[in-house]
Amino acid sequence: MHYPATRSTPSVAANAVAVALFQQAASAGRARLNPSELDTLLGALGSPMVPDLAAPATSDSCELCVSLHNNREFGMVISAGAGGLDGELDKSIFRNGRASVQGLAELSSGQDFLRRFKRTMVYQKLLARARQAQQPVPDQQLVLFYDRLLTLTSQAEGADRTAPVMLQALDLTLLLSQGQIFATHAECTFGAPPLERLARPIAKIDKLLHPASIGVIGVSANSMNFGRIILRNLVGSGYPKTQLTVIRPDDAEVDGIACVTNLKALTHKLDLLIVAVGADAVPGLVDEIIDSGAVESVMLIPGGLGETANSRQPAALMMARINAAHGQPGGGPIFLGANCLGVVSHPGTYDSWFIPLERLPKPQKKPQRNSVMLSQSGAFMITRLSQNPWLDPLYMLALGNQTDLTHGDLLSYFALLPQIETIGIYIEGFKDLDGLHFARAVRAAVLSGKQVVVYKAGKTLPGSASVMGHTASIAGDPALFEAAMRQAGAIVAEDVNSFDDLFYMAGALHHKKIGGNRLGAISGAGFEAVSMADAIHTDSFSLQMGQLQEDSVKRVEAVLLAKKLASLVEVRNPIDINPGADDEAHLQIVDAFAQDPQIDAVVVGLDPTAPSVRSLERSTLRPGYDLSDPNSTLHLMPPLVAQHDKPIIGIVDGGHLYDALCAGLMDQGVCVFRNCARGTRALAHYVEARLAAEVIHAQASEL
């Protein structure tokens, strides 16, 4: 299902003209339009070709470059940026999205693309020149031009893949002058539509996640190999032994689990088969699995497939075999992996990771698990969960090489799963056109009320090379990835720490109202109050320090007077409430800020080292003046957070002495960070994404 943005409805004549021109040029043996054909196409776009020397140069003139490109990962992409000498500037000197903007054609409209284009240097230059010349800014002309340009992408979006050729690239240099758009240079190429893989039967992902029967092949009877560890983890996580089968020819049982000689000897169809044999044996086994018809879903654990020069051809043949099976009745089995850590499915009561449970216990940290983690790297999930048990996903799946199931497939499934609220995803690369498939799934998830947090590795040249060697992925253009994900509605993380922060925050604040960007900042440490104010910016968004209403000021003053701090503290935002403030003072001021209609979110430093705060697990200096005290933050803050529909973020900036305070608050659903700048910065990114999601919902409601 496609979820396009709201588009204007210009004539589709430009697309019809383009198709006719492509066919005309192709019949002449060309893959590029000639000057005469370009004139015709530009006329249909409403931007006639004018030679550089004849272009009308006026005081409000401005040059820009606009293009459509058929991208391997994302299909048709529209981009716009500076032209002329400005276009020769090093893009690295600009903040993100200032030199140029990109967007997925399928999710774009002229109006939407203009909104993003307005952030660029070239638009700001156009605006300044229009004001200087006392001319109107040609926004409507740009919207109409972008809409006409986007009609050229209808074939690439899947509306008509029967045409023998389709647009590959259109590069235009445009001159905006006196409210008109002229083309001073143009190039256009076309080619055959890309081959697409057959649709995977993603409904069978339900069998993968909630199997009524599991088989394991590759289990050693006398050593603790990966297959044996997986078998132990399955049993240790609660999966019934009676629903397990080991495929092993030489034994009747292993660890009390019945064995069968091979797949043909099965007496029932397996919902899931876990393959933990050597990589060399996998291609032949895949043929056997497909031919047997005895398996609904398969987990390929072995690494090395497609990651080395010698393995790429066998891996490609195996993928072709799996793809062909999806064209048969029933769709054939689905495959997760290869080079796959496995799956943890709490609803399916199984853990198939080959990490012993003693090294990575998975205790429930939320009253109700409601998130999913998908990762191309199993190690990424292991380290995230080990360091951040409060992420606590309901499902965790490692994709590995994406031999069959891709990021887009899995997200498409989870986007519509009712009990899921937050989805965190680590990506190294997309298969052909799966970036577009994934973006569609992000949009579907957002429209279903879910939050999607994504982090993509391979942003640098060395990082891209490492990605290719790890899970046989191609990293792709990081700027395009970020633009596409934000356009689709995802929360995009900048690095691993940012992913941890945003995935955790999204889970903690999913049900909180984001009413705007006005922040209230509270701390008993002056540096914290200032640091919070300094951390309110992203590349494209800023929180603002909200202006307290008079009633709120009086409430805070009353608290300070009662706590004998009035002579030491000036009420403002951000506010330094002095190290003498106790737990109750902190939280009463939080309550006053949260009730203020001009504050949309509150960040509070809980000052664990302050002598008046009950932050120790046990106090020897003041017995009972610790976490066990009913007046401690641990007891007072959770109900306060629950009663407000605004986000309230607690900051505990202290060492290991205060781990118990943090853990106790987080176990009760309070969003806690150990650093004020990190917590505030995460909130700025989160609020930006939530407000952008509201725009997407509003656009969808207009369709």
pLDDT tens digits, 556-611 = 999 999 999 999 999 999 999 999 999 999 999 999 999 999 999 999 999 999 99
For residue 263, give both structure tokens: 């797949």
Nearest Cα residue to 684 out of 529, 518, 526 = 518
Q: Could you tell me if 583 and 650 are in contact, meaning their C-beta atoms sit under 8 angstroms apart?
A: no
pLDDT given for residue 62 in this prediction: 80
Q: Please tell me the distance from the alpha carbon of residue 687 to that of residue 692, in angstroms, as a whole number.
A: 8
For residue 394, give both structure tokens: 């309901």
Q: Please tell me the distance from the alpha carbon of residue 69 to that of residue 180, in angstroms, as a whole number.
A: 24
Residue 629 has pLDDT above 50, yes or no: yes
Residue 9 has pLDDT above 50, yes or no: no
User: What's the pLDDT band for 310 if we cut at 50, 70, 90?
Assistant: confident
pLDDT given for residue 6 in this prediction: 40
pLDDT digits (tens, 9 = 90+) for 178-198: 778 889 999 999 998 887 788
Q: Chain-centre distance of CA 487, in angstroms?
A: 11
From the DSSP assignment, how many helices (H) and strands (E) are in the chain? 21, 25
Q: Chain-centre distance of CA 226, in angstroms?
A: 31
Phi–psi pair at 19, nearest 5 degrees:
-60, -45
User: What's the pLDDT band for 58 if we cut at 50, 70, 90?
Assistant: low
Q: Chain-centre distance of CA 609, in angstroms?
A: 36
Q: Which residue has the tokens 């990835």?
A: 481
Same fold, 13-191 and 514-692: no
Residue 15 has pLDDT above 90, yes or no: no
Q: Which residue has the tokens 């990605």?
A: 467
Q: What is the percentage of the chain residues whose pLDDT exceeds 90?
A: 77
pLDDT given for residue 470 in this prediction: 42
DSSP assignment of 306-329 equals TTSHHHHHHHHHHHHHHHHHTTST
Asked whether the bond before 533 is cis by omega within 30 degrees of 0, the reply is no
The whole-chain average pLDDT of the chain stands at 90
Compute the average pLDDT of residues 646-667: 97
pLDDT given for residue 460 in this prediction: 55
pLDDT given for residue 127 in this prediction: 86
pLDDT given for residue 320 in this prediction: 93
Nearest Cα residue to 301 out of 273, 355, 341 = 341
pLDDT given for residue 80 in this prediction: 94
Q: Which CATH class is domain 13-191?
A: alpha beta
Question: Structural domain boundaries of the chain?
Answer: 13-191, 202-508, 514-692
For residue 72, give both structure tokens: 């391997």
Q: Chain-centre distance of CA 42, in angstroms?
A: 37
Q: Please tell me the distance from the alpha carbon of residue 644 to that of residue 202, in angstroms, as a whole number.
A: 40
Cα–Cα distances (Å) from 326 to 118, 198, 332, 431, 650, in that order, read: 45, 6, 5, 17, 50
pLDDT digits (tens, 9 = 90+) for 325-369: 999 999 999 999 999 999 999 999 999 998 988 999 999 998 899
Compute the average pLDDT of residues 25-49: 93
Q: Could you tell me if 509 and 463 are in contact, meaning their C-beta atoms sit under 8 angstroms apart?
A: no
Q: Please tell me the distance from the alpha carbon of residue 346 to that of residue 504, in angstroms, as a whole number.
A: 19
Compute the average pLDDT of residues 140-158: 83
For residue 224, give both structure tokens: 């603790």
Compute the average pLDDT of residues 367-385: 95
Kindly report the pTM of this predicted structure. 0.92
More confident: 211 or 315: 211
Residue 3 has pLDDT above 80, yes or no: no
Q: Could you tell me if 300 and 217 are in contact, meaning their C-beta atoms sit under 8 angstroms apart?
A: no
pLDDT digits (tens, 9 = 90+) for 520-561: 999 999 899 999 999 999 988 999 999 999 999 999 999 999
The set of residues, in sequence order, having a beta carbon less than 8 Å from that of 3 and lying 6+ positions away, is 107, 440, 443, 444, 447, 700
Residue 12 has pLDDT above 90, yes or no: no
What type of residue is 212? A
Nearest Cα residue to 82 out of 93, 66, 104, 69 = 66
Q: How many residues does the chain have?
A: 703
Task: Give the largest Cα separation in the chain, rounded.
Answer: 92
pLDDT given for residue 102 in this prediction: 95
Lowest mean pLDDT among 87-101, 280-294, 468-482: 468-482
DSSP 330: T
The three-state DSSP-derived secondary structure of 63-126 is EEEEEEEEECCCEEEEEEEECHHHHHCCHHHCCCCCCEEEEEHHHCCHHHHHHHHCCCHHHHHH
Residue 321 has pLDDT above 60, yes or no: yes
pLDDT given for residue 164 in this prediction: 80
Compute the average pLDDT of residues 506-516: 97
202-508: CATH number: 3.40.50.261
For residue 621, give both structure tokens: 């200096």
Nearest Cα residue to 521 out of 550, 556, 494, 492 = 556
Burial of 72 (0-12, 13-18, 19+ CB in 10 A): middle
Cα–Cα distances (Å) from 319 to 198, 324, 405, 434, in that order, read: 11, 9, 11, 15
Residue 669 has pLDDT above 60, yes or no: yes
Q: Chain-centre distance of CA 623, in angstroms?
A: 47
Compute the average pLDDT of residues 452-466: 70
pLDDT given for residue 507 in this prediction: 97
Instruction: Report the run of H or E that residue 272 belongs to, with start and end.
Output: strand 270-275
Nearest Cα residue to 449 out of 684, 685, 203, 697 = 697
514-692: CATH number: 3.40.50.261
Q: What is the percentage of the chain residues whose pLDDT exceeds 70?
A: 91
Q: Could you tell me if 467 and 377 are in contact, meaning their C-beta atoms sit under 8 angstroms apart?
A: no
pLDDT given for residue 476 in this prediction: 59
Pair type for strands 371-375 and 544-545? unpaired
For residue 264, give both structure tokens: 């043909």
